Amino acid sequence: MASTVFDSSLFRDMFGTAEMRGVFSDEALVGRYLEAEAALARAQARMGVVPADAAKAIDAASRTITIDYDRLRHETENVGYPILPLVHQLSEAAGAAGRYVHWGATTQDIMDTANVLQLRAALGIVARDLRELHGILAAMARKYRDTPMAGRTHLQQALPVTFGYKAAVWLSSIDRHIARVDQALPRILVGEFSGAAGTLASIGSGGLEMQKLFCEELGLHQPTITWHVARDGIAEAVTLLGLVTGTLGKIASDVMMMSATEFGEVSEPFAPGRGASSTMPQKRNPISSELMLAAAKAVRQHVAAMLDGMIHDFERATGPWHLEWVSLPESFLLTASSLANAKFMLAGLVVHEQRMRDNLDLTHGLIVAEAVMMAAAPKLGRQHAHDVVYDACRAAIEHGGDLAGNLAKIPEIVEAIGMEAIRYHCDPANYLGLCGEMVDRVTATEPH
């Protein structure tokens, strides 16, 4: 029976996606092992080390073999690794050519290379979803470019911004993640064929050429030296996921708080029953955002594990490598879930523009006290203007009334900028800074 959220029939589509599970399933992983073994035989045949007919037989067997998974599991538990048990089955399936299976390789060569093949497929999914998110957020930023709302710092209203500006800030992180994935691929998509201690001693003088051909067969980069115990490439992949899910968690946090009854500025897309409570009929919980936030917290733990796992002993590790077996699939499943929820939630996000305006007016103009201060500063001096406006704000807070009304009672402010300017500067919609221009800058750039 299933025992974790990743394989649970109840929870698996909340903490992963079918597409990403397909990349990291047992069948897919064994398929990658077989793909690596077949590529090695083909590369060795190109060098004349393995007979061409034998390489063809191994290649054919790798594609047609029916794996006995019960036997593979039992032998893997005994050996500690799945490659030797798999080599037994592949050698049997290849007949006489089986004697050439796994020639000169070590277990970690095949497992590392298979993981890199998985990473190529998995990062392709992540990159695609990030690009789709770019499109969703760019459209949102343009649509709400000039929609004013309260900007908040330390959970308090600070200065006006626009919702398009907020979306563009989210978008800017997504665009950097797209660039990061593209830039990281050459460092991550590196094959591994180095032999027992990484020296290719089992092959000899032609080892580096064989390694090159092996990587060519799989469309991977050739390493400059073995990376059995240099795990920065694998760790970088998971760290990238930590950055991606961190951004999605930030977006989720914003959306959840803005969805709170007291804010009411956005709502997640409506679907019958989604986010419902078992006892409170009125509830519409932000489920997608909650899952995005949970994913960010869980992936962060895997990032820490992968960084810890970089510390390998000598030329082959005695345990840190195994951390990758846990963290790689789980990190990618969680990230896929977060991306899927982000696409669904943001594409259908309901934006309550009037509520944004109502919240912006909650302070009766106090949110733009800075605007009045800066307008009066040229005549009164910045510090004196600050002190005068500060007193007006305190009066509005303690005795009521709006900021404009309290400022109208201060002769030196009226004399400095005039009543019309007071009314203008006390309207939050007139103090949006360069929100629009910043939105335009972010949305003008398309990811490569």
User: What is the CA 243 to chain-centroid distance, rounded?
Assistant: 6
Q: For position 22, what pLDDT does the model report?
A: 96
Identify whether the C-beta of residue 256 lies closer than 8 Å to the C-beta of residue 341: no
Side-chain-side CA neighbours of residue 60 (13 Å): 11
pLDDT digits (tens, 9 = 90+) for 56-95: 999 999 999 999 999 999 999 999 999 999 999 999 999 9
Identify whether the C-beta of residue 335 lies closer than 8 Å to the C-beta of residue 241: yes
Give the count of beta carbons closer than 10 Å to the beta carbon of residue 322: 13
Q: How confident is the model at residue 224 (pLDDT cuts 50, 70, 90)?
A: very high
Q: How confident is the model at residue 320 (pLDDT cuts 50, 70, 90)?
A: confident
Q: For position 283, what pLDDT does the model report?
A: 52
Q: For position 401, what pLDDT does the model report?
A: 82
Q: For position 174, what pLDDT does the model report?
A: 98
Does residue 274 register a pLDDT over 70?
no
Q: For position 369, what pLDDT does the model report?
A: 87
Q: What SS3 class is residue 151?
A: strand
Q: Is 277 a catalytic residue?
A: yes
Cα separation, 134 vs 123, in Å, equals 16
Mean per-residue pLDDT over the chain, rounded: 92
Q: For position 273, what pLDDT does the model report?
A: 60
Q: Which of 101-115, 208-222, 330-344, 410-424 has the lowest mean pLDDT?
A: 410-424
List b or e across 44-78, with b for residues whose CB sees 16 or more CB atoms inside 10 angstroms: bbbeebbeeebbbbbbebbeebebeeeebeebbee
Contacts of 150 (CB under 8 A, 6+ apart): 157, 158, 160, 161, 356, 359, 360, 362, 367, 428
Q: Which of 196-210, 262-276, 335-349 has the highest mean pLDDT?
A: 335-349
Q: Which two tokens stand for residue 234?
A: 């694998």
- For the chain, the farthest-separated pair of C-alpha atoms sits apart, in whole angstroms, at 102
Q: For position 281, what pLDDT does the model report?
A: 47
Q: Is 154 a catalytic residue?
A: yes
pLDDT digits (tens, 9 = 90+) for 15-50: 899 999 999 999 999 999 999 999 999 999 999 999
Global pTM reads 0.92
Ranges of H-type helices in 144-231: 163-188, 207-218
Side-chain-side CA neighbours of residue 314 (13 Å): 5
Q: For position 385, what pLDDT does the model report?
A: 86
Beta strands in 83-225 (DSSP E): 148-153, 156-162
Share of the chain above pLDDT 90, in %: 73
Identify whether the C-beta of residue 324 lies closer than 8 Å to the C-beta of residue 3: no
Q: For position 393, what pLDDT does the model report?
A: 85
Q: For position 100, what pLDDT does the model report?
A: 96
Q: What is the tally of helices (H) and strands (E) in the chain?
A: 18, 4
Does residue 404 register a pLDDT over 90?
no
Does residue 244 register a pLDDT over 70?
yes
Taking residues 357-375, report their average pLDDT. Answer: 89
Which position among 9, 154, 278, 448 bears the catalytic label? Answer: 154
Taking residues 308-322, report their average pLDDT. Answer: 88
What are the structural domains, with CATH classification, of the chain?
18-145+158-357 (1.20.200.10), 366-426 (1.10.40.30)
Q: Measured on CA atoms in the order 16, 22, 23, 25, is the torsion positive or negative?
A: positive
Q: How confident is the model at residue 392 (pLDDT cuts 50, 70, 90)?
A: confident
Share of the chain above pLDDT 70, in %: 97
Nearest to residue 370, comparing CAs of 426, 434, 413?
426
Burial of 409 (0-12, 13-18, 19+ CB in 10 A): exposed
Which position among 3, 9, 88, 277 bears the catalytic label? Answer: 277
Q: How confident is the model at residue 178 (pLDDT cuts 50, 70, 90)?
A: very high
Q: Measured on CA atoms in the order 199, 204, 205, 206, is the torsion positive or negative?
A: negative
Does residue 204 register a pLDDT over 90?
no
